[in-house]
Amino acid sequence: MFNYDALRAAQLRTHPTPHLIVKDFIKPPYLKKLLPLFPKISSGGSFPAFSFRHPPLFQQMLLEFQGEKLQQEILKKFNLSLKNPPKLLTLRGQTRACDGKIHCDSKSKAVTILLYFNAPEQEWQEGKGCLRFLNGPHPQNLLTPCSPNEMIVPTGGTLVIFPNTDHSWHGHLPYEGQRRTIQLNYMHHSWKAWFEMKRHALSAQWKKWHRA
């Protein structure tokens, strides 16, 4: 299902912060089957993966995504020594105008792994919604012209990985609409993973009530 050879062959980028981009990490025959199985999410924000009832193939993919094989490949690639890190798995289906502001992830997160689930034909005008790693938090950094290699188009099957540091600044130009992402975090502490999962679960329930 996953192309581990592509992950091993991908060049580790070190500027402006260590990160890895792997296109077609989901093998095309599987991606074609998986794209329609992504949960229908009409609200912004992150939702715990367990809050949805997934079809068997999608559930199989999520289990492999959280599995030991991918974990070992990532730790080896970045030369990290995490042992049995707690994991936090969330899904995003919509992006709001307020999303994408330049930030570093919470210090409770050791590694962030993004797997995009958007249709190949989806357009991202003027780079809106396309992730970039940046030199700092100033909003002007997102307006600075960059090469195509520095702008990550969130096409289905694209994998992005980066260890979380105090300089792993990232963000994207404002975008409103469907932008589907699976986010997996390797956490430093199990209690923090539990807390974040509960927080996302309560938020998801509130959004469900709010829509009713």
Domain spans in the chain, listed from the N-terminal domain onward = 4-211
Per-residue DSSP letter, 179:
E
3 state SS of 205: helix
pLDDT at position 96, please?
Answer: 96
pLDDT at position 113, please?
Answer: 99
Per-residue DSSP letter, 192:
H
pLDDT digits (tens, 9 = 90+) for 26-80: 999 999 999 999 999 999 999 999 999 999 999 999 999 999 999 999 999 999 9
Residues of the chain with pLDDT below 50 are: 210, 212
**190: Cβ contacts below 8 Å, ≥ 6 apart:** 86
Q: Which structure tokens are listed for 36?
A: 């329609």
User: Bridge partners of 187?
Assistant: 109
pLDDT at position 18, please?
Answer: 98
pLDDT at position 195, please?
Answer: 56
Q: How far apart are CA 117 and CA 210, in angstroms?
A: 26
Q: How far apart are CA 74 and CA 76, in angstroms?
A: 5
For residue 36, cis peptide bond before it (omega within 30 degrees of 0): no
Q: Which structure tokens are listed for 41?
A: 């999410």
pLDDT at position 193, please?
Answer: 52
User: Bridge partners of 184?
Assistant: 89, 113
In angstroms, the Cα distances linking 198 to 11, 33, 87, 105, 195 are 36, 30, 13, 18, 5
Cα torsion 7, 9, 11, 17 to 10°: value is 30
**End-to-end Cα spacing for the chain:** 37
CATH architecture of 4-211: Sandwich (2.60)
Q: How far apart are CA 10 and CA 98, in angstroms?
A: 32
Per-residue DSSP letter, 91:
E
pLDDT at position 212, please?
Answer: 46
3 state SS of 57: helix
Q: How far apart are CA 121 and CA 103, in angstroms?
A: 28
Q: Which structure tokens are listed for 104?
A: 């570093």
In angstroms, the Cα distances linking 6 to 65, 84, 155 are 15, 24, 16
pLDDT at position 145, please?
Answer: 84
